[in-house]
Amino acid sequence: MTSQPNLFFRHDTLFGACQGIADDLGINALWLRVPLSASILFNYKIALGAYALMCVLVFATRVLWPVKTVAAAEAEPEVVEAAPAAVADNEQRELAHAA
């Protein structure tokens, strides 16, 4: 598992509120971005207030319930046993030379 990226510093989000909530709910962020952007046309104050509330909500969920991650260096390496080498008998050697 990899660490969760900081939504605020990503190049493809403004503050990451819609993406953060979408990640928490397991949905596509466009399902939140389209209605939010459309609501700006009707009443921009309510839209900006809703976005600010979403930013606070995402921040609170990230602080209160952080995603537990496992660093790759901390994970124990997998022990792989080597397969025993196959020993060819005389018949196989003869077939190999004949071919």
Which amino acid belongs to residue 81? E
**In which band, very low, low, confident or very high, does the pLDDT at 48 lie, cut at 50, 70 and 90?**
very high
Q: Which of 3-7, 18-22, 50-54, 89-93 has the highest mean pLDDT?
A: 50-54
- pTM to 2 decimal places: 0.55
Going by C-alpha positions, the residue among 20, 88, 77, 31 that lies closest to residue 54 is 20
pLDDT for 1 beyond 50: no
Phi/psi for 16 (5° steps) reads: 85, 15
The string of DSSP letters for 15-49 reads SSHHHHHHHHHTS-THHHHHHHHHHHHH-HHHHHH
Phi/psi for 41 (5° steps) reads: -70, -30
